[in-house]
Each structure stands twice: as structure tokens, then as C-alpha cells.
Amino acid sequence: MNGLSIFAGNSNVPLAERISEYLAKPLGRLKVNRFSDGETQVEIHENVRRREVYVIQSTCKPVNDNLVELLLLIDAFRRSSAARLTAVIPYFGYSRQDKKVAPRVPISAKVVAALLERTGVDRVITMDLHAGQIQGFFNVPVDNLYAAPIIIDDIKTRFSDDIVVVSPDAGGVERARAYAKRLDAGLAIVDKRRSAPNQAKAMAIIGDVKGKIALVIDDMVDTAGTLTEAASVISEKGAKEVHAYCTHPVLSGPAIDRITQSSLSSLVATDTVPLSEEARSCGKIKTLSIAKLVGEAIMRSYRGDSVNSLFV
């Protein structure tokens, strides 16, 4: 893979280093500074002419800073005559704004896709998009990987029998059903009513959780309102334990306090988003690494091999 170069922005350096280690390929040298007024300055410190460049950058908090940093990196590589540019975005910010939910609002995920394309990206590799149709917002290839194989392996290691997979809301039923099928487990759904953004009230359980270990599956946990409400109702319905799995631990606002005080026994997330110091010190939160999965996708993409087997 002599024609391959891997670079990382500042959003998730630990994950980038794990991916680099898996590929046995050192991260490229670059420098990202801030001017006194907050503007981002990017400098590439090695030759990338006619090379295939992969830029690893989650657009997580601070979302706008990390997004602009990614755009400037892409432009810098394009102007440095890189042969092909792939943006590796483990967590795709603005993905929840994928449709018009009210009059006179933007479709922000589409705006981000257009920005990436116009800046010069040739391909996008991402993980567990909040809505699959976001792939259609791009006119370049998008490989949307899934954390399911990693999460399912962990579930099989930790639990044996008496498990039931729970969707925290109606929107996640398809995802929960896929997990339940592969785990040969039962399925339950939380009937949730949302009164305002980031505010949810879980109302009832559709399905049987009594006497079982409930596994709540979601793509992301932000303020943890939905998750903790769901855990409370599941416990009230007689579940022995309630555990949660998610791909993206956004964990903003009161999320850590809510998780700490909730009836959840654990929350297992991947490292698409780096945990804050407060989250790392929370005994209920554990992480799984997606480095091998993303590294394999990069390797296959570079070699022109199929990545289809990574989607299941």
C-alpha cells in the first residue's frame, strides 16, 4: 500500500491511531492551528502528489469546528495534487437533520454533503448513518459501515440466554429487529412520545420483557433522555437487567448524570466519538473499538476489493 496516505484531524485522534496501527501505516504529518480570531489554519507537512489520501475526522462536538477543519483539509490535499480523496467520517454530524420536519427549515445533512462534494472529496466512508437515505444526498460513492458485527460479538460474549432486544422508539424498530434475528432473541418496542427536541417521554412497552435481560439498541445517545426513560419503563415491566448499546456516544448536556442515576446497568458504545473525561469516569459506560472495521474498509477501498462483507 505504498500509494496510500492516512491523515487525521483533531476530532478523534485515538481512533485514528488505532486505525493506523491496524493498517501498519503511520499517520501523515500535518498541523492544525487556530488564529487569534478562531479561524482554522491547516498545513500538510509531507508530499501527497498522486497519492490516495484518506482523512479521518468525526464531525462531533465541537461540530462546526471539526466540519470546517475537515473541509480545509480536503481542500489542502486537493490543491497538493492528491490523486483521490476519501473522507473517513466515523460520526457524521447533522445526520439527524435529514428531512423537513417543519416549514422553512433546512435539510442540514444535504448541505453538509454538498459542502464535502464541492470541496473535492471523491468518496466517503462513514458508520451507522442516522438515516440511510443520506447516502443519496451525495453524488460520490458512500460506504456506510455498520457497528452491528462488533456489538453482536460483545453481546454474545456477555450474555447467553433470556435476552430481549428493545427498540427505544418506533424509528429504531428495523434496527432492533435485525439484531434480534441475528441473536435469536425476542423483540420489544418502547412507545415514546416526544414533546420537544431532546425531550422525550416513554409511555409503554410493546412486547414481553418480564424476567429477561433487556438490551436497548440505538444508533446514538445524545442527551440520554429517550434511553433513560426507556430503561425506567422496561425495569417497571419486570426486566431483570437493562443494558444499552449504541454506535455514537454523543452524550451532551445532562446525559452522564441521567445515565448514572438511571436503572441502566451499562451503556456500551463504540469509539466513533471520543468520550469526555466525565464519561470515561462513569462506571456504567464502556467502549468497543471500530478501528479494525474501518481499517479493513480503507484497505479494501484502496485495493479495489469488495467491502460488501463489512456491511453485515
Catalytic site positions = 192
State the Cα–Cα distance between residues 30 and 16, nearest whole angstrom. Answer: 14
143 annotated ligand-binding residue:
no
Please tell me whether residue 160 adopts helix, strand or coil conformation: coil
Q: Are 9 and 70 contacting, i.e. CB atoms less than 8 angstroms apart?
A: yes
97 annotated ligand-binding residue:
yes
Strand ranges for the chain from DSSP E: 4-8, 30-34, 40-44, 52-56, 84-89, 123-127, 142-145, 163-167, 186-196, 199-206, 213-221, 241-249, 266-270, 285-288
287 annotated ligand-binding residue:
no
96 annotated ligand-binding residue:
yes
Residue type, position 184, single letter: D
257 annotated ligand-binding residue:
no
191 annotated ligand-binding residue:
no
57 annotated ligand-binding residue:
no
37 annotated ligand-binding residue:
yes
Residue 30: closest CA among 3, 50, 57, 65: 57
182 annotated ligand-binding residue:
no
225 annotated ligand-binding residue:
yes
State the Cα–Cα distance between residues 177 and 88, nearest whole angstrom. Answer: 28
224 annotated ligand-binding residue:
yes
- The three cell numbers of residue 162 are 433470556
Given the DSSP bridges, would you call strands 30-34 and 40-44 parallel, antiparallel or unpaired?
antiparallel
Residue 240: closest CA among 212, 206, 209, 264: 212
38 annotated ligand-binding residue:
yes
Instruction: Give the largest Cα separation in the chain, rounded.
Output: 61
194 annotated ligand-binding residue:
yes
Q: Annotated binding site for ATP, which residues?
A: 37-39, 96-97
Q: Annotated binding site, which residues?
A: 37-39, 96-97, 130, 169, 194, 218, 222-226
Q: Annotated binding site for D-ribose 5-phosphate, which residues?
A: 194, 218, 222-226
Q: Annotated binding site for Mg(2+), which residues?
A: 130, 169
